[in-house]
Amino acid sequence: MRHQLIRHGHGSRTWSIVLDRGEEVTTCLQEFARREVLGTTRFTATGALQDAVLGFLESNKRYYRRNALDHPTQVVSLAGDIAWHHGKQRIRMRAVLGDDEYALFDGYLLEGHVRQTLEVIMTEAPVQLHKGYDADAGLALHKQTADTQDTQW
């Protein structure tokens, strides 16, 4: 994994991150977030994966149904965020992947190994947002507090 800080100022940082063949996406991005002590962050990515595990949230059962893709795919769309939940950084990525038969696969990217390259643009927000557990949704969701209601980022 290679990275470069491409913007810094106004309480925010933007990084360009390139993952190389064979690297595991979730592990690399989690390690990067920990090393840089990232706060609330959004990111997008483009590239190709050798294999992937996508998850579909079974909200009534509160777990992800896993779908392993053991063939190469192109990243049609990958968007994610990093937020703090119970004092720890949590990463969440939503992906649409396409294969050579033009089939599309959609879900939360739980695991994936880079095929040739994966290019990520990651931008940290100037304010810290925290996630709280929403029992109805069975998920950790962003909480809006009085001091973040009018903050735009």
Collect contacts of 90-96 with beta carbons under 8 A, ≥24 apart: 90/131, 90/140, 91/26, 91/29, 91/30, 91/33, 93/25, 93/26, 93/29, 95/52, 95/54
> What does pTM read for this prediction?
0.81
pLDDT at 150 over 50: no
pLDDT tens-place string over residues 104-129: 999 999 999 999 999 999 999 876 65
Q: Residue 146 has what pLDDT? A: 45
Q: Which residue has the higher pLDDT, 8 or 109?
A: 109
CATH number of the domain encompassing residue 125: 3.30.1330.80
Within-domain flag for 74: yes
Band the pLDDT of 136: cuts 50, 70, 90: low
pLDDT tens-place string over residues 18-50: 999 999 999 999 999 999 989 889 999 999 999
Q: Residue 151 has what pLDDT? A: 44
Within-domain flag for 149: no
Q: Which residue has the higher pLDDT, 139 or 58?
A: 58
- What's the token pair of residue 130? 């925290």
Within-domain flag for 150: no
State the average pLDDT over residues 76-85. 92
Q: How many domains does the chain have?
A: 1
Q: Residue 148 has what pLDDT? A: 45
Within-domain flag for 106: yes
Beta strands in the chain (DSSP E): 2-9, 12-20, 41-58, 63-69, 73-85, 88-98, 104-124, 131-134, 139-142
Closest CA to 142 of 40, 44, 45: 40
Within-domain flag for 152: no
Within-domain flag for 153: no
What domain range is 132 assigned to? 2-142
Within-domain flag for 101: yes
How many Cα neighbours within 13 Å face the side chain of 120?
31
